[in-house]
Amino acid sequence: MTEAPRTQSLTLTADDVHRGDLILVSTLLERAYVFPKDESDLVTLYGNKSDSYRVSSSAIKLSRTTMAALDAMFDAFFAETGSRDYQITQGYRTLEEQTSIYDDYQEIYGAEQGALLAALPGYSEHHTGMAIDMNVYTAAGVSYSLATAGDADPIYAWIYANAAKYGFVLRYPESKTTVTGITNEPWHFRYVGRGHAAYMAENSLTLEEYIALLYKHGASSPLHFTADGVDYTVFYVPLAGDETQIELPQNADFSISGDNDGGFIVTLRTAETNLE
């Protein structure tokens, strides 16, 4: 008699829908960020980050997971180029900080254009602590926009070719303004996790498009792909009342993220096996 696979049962609550690496925050889709009761997951970059990159302010904060991914990414850049010139200029924002930015843009650019340049307060990805804005600031004190830094020195284009390997995606590409509701921001990256970032980059998907794709892949028909030597199985589970039960293999390497709307994205990871 074949023994049934052992499983583990996880209980997720309605509050969990608003937490995780893949939550979608969007003015266009009317998905506001739900602020947690405290900021315990946030860490100040200054004094805690790797020495392989710069920050423009000692007050910039990110989620711990995002900072760890940044450290790994820029450590790799430094090892390859010897440069520490990438600089984080924006990270986590409070509701009050986003309100100030939004109001300024409305006054300068008008209602329609201002809304494309700055998200409505409560609807900014910067509230999540997983979004960053960047530029280049050299040891000589010269500052470059990330969009043009590669013209000054080709090494600065590294971020666009390598960000996905470390879990980051260019969040608001020029060709997807109608999808995201935000104009092109070549300096703005969002942490979503390594496998997801790789799939999104390879298939030219925004987070909106990727989440929409995952809605078509339930537990019985998951999305399968391989990235960086890891096999991924990803599927969507809708919220079922106040609590949702999810059954997974007993010793699975997994993560679960809310979508910030009505359900959960389950990710299972398995290292590739090479048979000779």
Q: Enumerate the active-site residues.
A: 185
DSSP state of 118: S
Please choose, from the candidates 90, 83, 120, the residue with its C-alpha nearest in 3D space to the C-alpha of residue 105.
120
Amino acid at 55: V
- Indicate the SS3 state at residue 145: strand
Q: Are strands 61-63 and 168-172 parallel, antiparallel or unpaired?
A: unpaired
- Tokens 């990270």 appear where? 91
Element (H, E) at 33: none
- Indicate the SS3 state at residue 85: coil
269 within 8 A of 253, measured Cβ to Cβ: yes
User: CA distances (Å), 250 to each of 220, 230, 268, in order?
Assistant: 18, 19, 12
Tell me the C-alpha distance between 112 and 154, whole Å.
Answer: 35
Q: At what angle do helices 194-202 and 207-214 cross, to 10 degrees?
A: 100
Tell me the C-alpha distance between 66 and 61, whole Å.
Answer: 10
Element (H, E) at 269: strand 263-271
Residue 99 neighbours by CB distance under 10 Å: 15
